[in-house]
């Protein structure tokens, strides 16, 4: 059996003449995009009175720290916060979609309003449909709010249309660095009942500090959003990482083998 | 009233500001057998009288009518739209089918896109807007069916009445179709009891209202009565045939009281059992109300 897909369906040279290798080398059509201006991790965890999210204020242009005032946590409707990482122009498009969604939802003034689980389902459909057209919105999104039964709601959707929900979630580098730290207090469903607001905030601040140490595309200035099960949304801006230690830098010379 | 030069199409006003085609559509509803709806704090209920072959088709031979009733099937009057929502119809059943399919699409769309059951007020606004379009488009006719939409959403149980004009109004109790004024009279007299009524009492109120729409010597039977119920912990459930026997037994008296009540309580008989023929109908006592306009 020939295990090379490039050779499957190929006519035999003895019968049909020498194979035109231009066909063989053509390859599939590719429409892969790349993001241009990007935001890094968004992190979040549930606590006893709701959900807390954080995202730094950096919009990077590759390795250039281009804009340091980019807000990536969005309040949607009355009781929902959406945090977005990835391409910033796609993030702005999503903000526009959400704004239109809320405006239309408010036309009737009939006592029915879209809440976090509904906004999440809507965004999941948008993201998956764009992926299916091979024209993704290059983002990873966290949606936070409260469920119909009043308990905290936190869920993830990304450019592939992948969805999941968990007591603690983070996108980008946060998935590797922040999630283990968040899971020390919020790992299983129900853990959030034992977490106070102060504990949640301490965990968030610690994770943002670690991310600033280790994520080379991060910033030490960030925003923290709190969505309570009472329906209150607060976004605290211009929070800075505190009590960092960069003394290890004194001993570093160059990038690898340089001694002086 | 039936000889007007302003009634050729839906988009022409009369000099008195009326749209006759829309008003004629309302007449079509009155030819259909009755449907009644009512609402408590916990449930919304619709009950309907199913017409048989005799009332559906033009038929002048009385002998043939009697056997058609026994041989034929009965028109389906209540349609489930979603787990939390259903409708009862009166009038052109095919138009109701088209509207109910549209409502099902709207309901499915809401669950798929937003993961939530569609709010009742929104789905009735959607069919209201759809019906209004046909009153303002050349070449189209208004829908010839009235609907009672019963549902349960986040803001509780609801009953809406839908009309071909596109008017949609929420009610505690409503009745549409032939002789429905009698049902409305019953509802007006008893609606104080509805909010706190148990489900059983609510259904019995509905059946009593429906009974009052029966023509002389007719009865509520398992074959001709339909009940639809929806509530907080009750998905929209349709009761037909054998399933309504229990309710009818609880009701007790299933026969029409027409012709036996004292004259002052009896509603004028003018519209009962009038077959649709070419002859002009008898003097109408139900006044055809002009469409509501901003005065």
pLDDT band at B88; cut points 50, 70, 90: very high
Return the number of other C-beta atoms located less than 10 Å from residue A97's C-beta: 13
Task: Give pLDDT, residue A132.
Answer: 94
What is the pLDDT, as a whole number, of residue A44?
A: 98
Q: What is the ipTM of this complex?
A: 0.83
Report the C-alpha gap between A155 and A171 in whole angstroms: 11
* Probe site for chain A from B114, B153, B155, B169 (most A CB atoms < 10 A): B114
Mean confidence (pLDDT) of chain A: 93
Chain A residues in contact with B113 (beta carbon < 8 A) = 121-122, 125
- Per residue in A184-226, pLDDT (tens digit) is 999 999 999 999 999 999 999 999 999 999 999 999 999 999 9
H, E, C per residue of A111-157: CCCCCHHHHHHHHHHHHHHHHHCCCCCCEEEEEEEECCCCCEEEEEE
Q: d(Cα B113, Cα A62) in Å, to the nearest integer? A: 35
CB contact under 8 Å between B114 and A121, yes or no, is: yes
Is any Cβ of chain B less than 8 angstroms from the Cβ of A110? yes
Check residue A250 and report its DSSP letter.
G
Centroid of chain to Cα A196? 24
Q: What percent of chain B has pLDDT over 90?
A: 74
Q: What is the pLDDT of residue A172?
A: 97
In what helix (H) or strand (E) does residue B56 lie, and over which residues does it extend?
helix B53-56
pLDDT tier for residue B1 given thresholds of 50, 70 and 90:
low
pLDDT in tens, A79-136: 999 999 999 999 999 999 999 999 999 998 889 999 999 999 999 999 999 999 989 9
Answer yes or no: do B114 and A112 touch at CB < 8 A.
no
Q: What per-residue confidence (pLDDT) applies to B77?
A: 96
Residue B275: is its pLDDT beyond 60?
no
The pLDDT assigned to A17 comes to: 79
Percent of chain A, pLDDT > 70? Answer: 97
Cα-trace Rg, chain B = 19
* Digit-coded pLDDT (tens) for B220-236: 999 999 999 999 999 99
CA distance B115 to chain A (A): 6
pLDDT tops 70 at residue B273:
no
pLDDT of residue A30: 67
Q: Residue A114: its chain B contacts at CB < 8 A?
A: 114
B66 touches A at CB < 8 Å: no
- The pLDDT of residue B281: 45
Residues pairing with A84 in the sheet: A141
Say whether B116 and A118 touch across the interface (CB within 8 A). Answer: yes
Q: At what angle do helices A197-214 and A174-182 cross, to 10 degrees?
A: 150
pLDDT of residue A49: 96
Interface check for A111 against chain B (CB to CB < 8 A): the answer is yes
Residues B258/B273/B225/B30 CA torsion (nearest 10 deg): -110
Beta bridge partners of B36: B47, B175
Q: Give B57's pLDDT tier (boundaries 50, 70, 90).
A: very low
More reliable by pLDDT, A28 or A50 = A50
| pLDDT score at A12 | 73
| Per-residue pLDDT, B294 | 54
Question: Cα A248 vs. chain centroid, distance in angstroms?
Answer: 30
Q: With an 8 Å Cβ cutoff, are B119 and A110 in contact?
A: yes
| CB contact residues (below 8 A), chain B span 105-124, against chain A | 112-116, 119, 121-122
* d(CA A119, nearest CA chain B) in Å: 7
Give the bridge partners for B187, in sequence order.
none
pLDDT the model gives residue B2: 56
Whether residue B122 and residue A120 make contact (CB cut-off 8 A), yes or no, is: no
Partners of B85 on chain A (C-beta within 8 Å) are none
First to last CA, chain A: 58
DSSP conformation class of B255: B
In angstroms, the Cα distances linking A141 to A97, A127, A147 are 14, 10, 18
Contact (CB<8Å) B119/A120: no
pLDDT of residue B258: 83
Residues of chain A contacting residue B121, judged by C-beta atoms under 8 Å apart: 108, 110, 112
Predicted local confidence at residue B66, as pLDDT: 44
How do residues A231-251 score in pLDDT, each as one tens digit? Answer: 999 999 999 999 999 998 898
Tell me: pLDDT of A160 over 60: yes
| Residues in chain B within 8 Å Cβ distance of A111 | 154-155
A118/B121 touch (CB, cutoff 8 Å), yes or no: no
- For Cα atoms B23, B27, B30, give the angle at the middle one, nearest 5 degrees: 145
* Per-residue pLDDT tens over the stretch B277-292: 444 444 444 555 555 5
Contact (Cβ atoms closer than 8 angstroms) between residue A199 and residue A45: no
Distance (Å) from the C-alpha of residue B121 to the closest C-alpha of chain A?
A: 8
Q: Band the pLDDT of A69: cuts 50, 70, 90.
A: very high
Dihedral of CA B9/B12/B15/B21: which sign? positive
Is residue B171 helix, strand or coil? Answer: coil
State CA A110 to chain mean position distance: 33
């Amino acid at each position: 059996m020939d295990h090379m897909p490039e050779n499957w369906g190929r006519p035999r040279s003895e019968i049909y003449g020498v194979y035109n290798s231009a066909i063989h080398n053509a390859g599939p059509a590719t429409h892969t995009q790349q993001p241009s201006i990007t935001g890094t991790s968004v992190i979040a965890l549930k606590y006893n009175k709701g959900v807390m999210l954080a995202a730094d204020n950096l919009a990077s242009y590759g390795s250039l720290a281009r804009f340091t005032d980019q807000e990536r946590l969005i309040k949607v409707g009355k009781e929902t916060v959406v945090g977005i990482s990835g391409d910033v122009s796609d993030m702005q498009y999503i903000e526009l979609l959400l704004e239109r969604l809320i405006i239309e939802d408010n036309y009737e003034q009939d006592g029915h309003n879209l809440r976090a689980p509904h906004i999440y389902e809507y965004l999941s459909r948008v993201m998956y449909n764009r992926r299916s057209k091979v024209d993704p919105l290059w983002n990873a999104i966290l949606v936070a709010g409260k469920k119909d039964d009043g308990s905290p709601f936190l869920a993830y959707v990304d450019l592939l249309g992948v969805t999941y929900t968990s007591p603690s979630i983070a996108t980008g580098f946060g998935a590797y660095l922040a999630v283990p730290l968040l899971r020390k207090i919020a790992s299983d469903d129900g853990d959030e009942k034992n977490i106070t607001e102060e504990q949640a905030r301490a965990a968030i601040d610690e994770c943002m500090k670690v991310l600033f140490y280790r994520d080379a595309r991060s910033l030490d200035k960030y925003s923290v959003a709190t969505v309570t099960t009472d329906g209150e949304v607060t976004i605290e801006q211009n929070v800075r990482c505190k009590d960092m230690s960069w003394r290890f830098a004194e001993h570093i010379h160059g990038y690898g083998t340089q001694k002086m | 009233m039936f000889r007007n030069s302003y009634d050729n199409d839906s988009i022409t006003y009369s000099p008195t500001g009326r749209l006759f085609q829309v008003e004629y559509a309302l007449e079509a509803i009155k030819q259909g057998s009755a449907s009644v709806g009512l609402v408590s704090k916990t449930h919304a209920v619709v009950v309907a009288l199913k017409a048989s072959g005799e009332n559906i088709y033009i038929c002048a031979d009385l002998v043939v009518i009697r056997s058609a009733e026994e041989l034929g099937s009965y028109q389906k009057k209540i349609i489930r739209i979603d787990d939390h929502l259903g409708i009862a119809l009166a009038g052109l059943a095919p138009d109701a089918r088209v509207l109910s399919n549209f409502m099902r699409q709207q309901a499915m769309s809401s669950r798929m896109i937003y993961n939530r059951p569609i709010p009742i007020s929104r789905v009735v606004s959607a069919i209201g807007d759809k019906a209004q379009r046909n009153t303002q488009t050349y070449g189209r006719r208004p829908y010839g069916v009235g609907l009672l939409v019963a549902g349960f959403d986040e803001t509780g149980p609801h009953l809406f009445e839908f009309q071909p004009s596109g008017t949609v109004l929420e009610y505690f109790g409503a009745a549409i179709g032939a002789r429905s004024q009698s049902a409305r009279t019953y509802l007006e007299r008893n609606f104080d009891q509805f909010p706190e009524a148990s489900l059983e009492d609510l259904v019995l109120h509905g059946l009593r209202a429906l009974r009052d729409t029966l023509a002389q010597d007719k009865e509520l039977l398992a074959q001709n009565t339909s009940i639809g119920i929806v509530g907080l912990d009750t998905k929209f459930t349709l009761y037909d045939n054998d399933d309504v026997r229990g309710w009818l037994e609880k009701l007790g008296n299933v026969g029409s009281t027409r012709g036996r009540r004292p004259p002052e309580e009896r509603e004028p008989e003018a519209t009962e059992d009038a077959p649709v023929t070419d002859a002009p109908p008898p003097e109408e006592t139900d006044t055809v109300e002009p469409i509501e306009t901003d005065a």
